[in-house]
C-alpha cells in the first residue's frame, strides 16, 4: 500500500521550530509523507524580532502546474500560516486542483491571538479566510480566530460551554464539517480545547493543566498531530485528545530543559510518543 501524502502549505523558518519545521517531523513520524509547499521562507521565526524572508508567492502557481502535469495526488491538504491574504487564493486553487471527495482538507486559520490580529496582517485576512474555511473538512482556530471568523465579540473571561457550542455550530454553518477550537479561556491554570462534528452533532471538551511556558509553533504541532491521527483512521475526539496530550508532554519537556522559548518546542526527543 502506498504511503499517504500530505500537501503541507505553510511558511518555513530556518531557525526556530514552527510551521513546516514542526509539521514535517510530526506527520512523518506518524507514517505519512509530507510534501512541503512553502508560502514564504524566513531566516528565523518572528519571535526574535529581527528577521529576513523571501515571499514564495511568485512560484506557487508554477509549482502546482508542474505537479498537475506530473499527475501528483494527495490524501490530505493542510494549510497553516500564510504570508498574506492574497495567498488564500493560491490555497483555494490547490484545493480545487488536488482535493477529491475523500481528501482531508485541514485549515489552521493562523492569524490572531489574545483578541487581536497578528501585527503582520490587515483586516482583509479575515474576509479571505472565511472563503478558505468554507472549503475545509476540518478547521482548528484558536478562540480569538473563531470569534473573528464568526464576527462574535471576543470574551476575555470564561465563555460557557453553551457559548462554545454555538460558536462551533456557527463555524460549521460556514462550510467545514468538523471544528476544533483551541486556547479556550478558562480563567484558571488549565487549557481547554473543544471539538464539534456537524455530521453527528457531537460536542466534546478536553482540558489539561497549563504549563507556565509560552513558545511558538504549539498550534502547528497540535494540528499536525490531529491531521496524522485522522489519517490513521482515529475518531475526532480521540485525535483531539492525542494532540492535546502530545503537546502537553512536549511543552513540559521543553520547559524542564530550560530551552530558549524562541526556539520553539523541542519536539525531536518527544516524537517516540507518537509511535
Q: Report how far apart, in Å, the C-alpha atoms of 230 and of each of 38, 64, 78, 233 are.
A: 23, 25, 12, 5
What are the sequence ranges of the domains in the chain? 5-274
Domain 5-274 class, CATH top level: alpha beta
**pLDDT by residue (tens digit) across 144-162?**
999 999 999 998 889 999 9
Q: Report how far apart, in Å, the C-alpha atoms of 77 and of each of 74, 100, 139, 162, 253 are.
A: 7, 10, 12, 31, 30
Residues with pLDDT less than 70, the chain: none
Q: What is the reported pLDDT for 91? A: 98
Contact indicator for 23, 14 with CB cutoff of 8 Å: no
Q: What is the reported pLDDT for 238? A: 97
Residue from 185, 205, 183 nearest 194 by CA: 205
- Pairing of β 112-113 and β 104-107: unpaired
Q: What is the reported pLDDT for 58? A: 95
In whole angstroms, what is the distance from residue 104 CA to residue 228 CA? 11
**Is 120 exposed, middle or buried (CB count within 10 Å of its CB: 0-12, 13-18, 19+)?**
exposed
Q: What is the reported pLDDT for 97? A: 98
Amino acid at each position: 500500500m502506498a504511503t499517504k501524502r500530505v500537501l503541507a502549505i505553510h511558511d518555513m523558518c530556518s531557525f526556530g521550530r514552527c510551521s513546516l519545521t514542526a509539521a514535517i517531523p510530526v506527520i512523518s513520524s506518524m507514517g505519512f509523507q509530507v510534501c512541503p509547499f512553502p508560502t514564504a521562507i524566513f531566516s528565523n521565526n518572528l519571535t526574535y524580532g529581527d528577521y529576513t524572508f523571501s515571499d514564495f508567492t511568485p512560484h506557487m502557481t508554477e509549482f502546482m502546474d508542474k505537479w498537475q502535469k506530473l499527475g501528483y495526488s494527495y490524501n490530505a491538504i493542510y494549510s497553516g500560516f500564510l504570508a498574506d491574504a492574497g495567498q488564500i487564493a493560491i490555497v483555494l486553487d490547490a484545493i480545487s486542483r488536488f482535493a477529491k471527495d475523500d481528501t482531508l482538507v485541514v485549515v489552521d486559520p493562523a492569524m490572531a491571538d489574545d483578541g487581536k490580529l497578528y501585527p503582520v496582517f490587515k483586516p482583509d485576512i479575515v474576509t479571505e479566510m472565511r472563503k478558505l474555511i468554507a472549503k475545509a473538512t476540518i478547521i482548528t482556530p484558536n478562540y480569538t480566530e473563531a470569534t473573528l471568523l464568526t464576527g462574535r465579540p471576543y470574551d476575555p473571561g470564561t465563555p460557557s460551554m453553551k457559548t462554545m457550542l454555538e460558536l462551533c455550530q456557527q463555524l460549521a454553518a460556514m462550510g467545514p464539517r468538523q471544528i476544533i477550537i483551541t486556547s479556550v479561556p478558562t480563567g484558571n491554570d488549565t487549557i481547554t480545547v473543544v471539538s464539534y462534528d456537524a455530521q453527528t452533532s457531537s460536542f466534546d471538551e478536553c482540558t489539561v493543566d497549563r504549563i507556565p511556558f509560552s513558545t511558538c509553533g504549539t498550534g502547528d504541532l497540535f494540528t499536525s498531530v490531529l491531521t496524522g491521527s485522522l489519517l490513521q483512521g482515529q475518531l475526532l475526539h480521540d485525535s483531539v485528545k492525542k494532540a492535546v496530550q502530545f503537546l502537553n508532554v512536549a511543552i513540559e519537556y521543553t520547559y524542564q530543559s530550560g530551552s530558549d522559548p524562541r526556539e520553539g518546542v523541542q519536539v525531536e526527543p518527544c516524537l517516540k510518543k507518537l509511535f
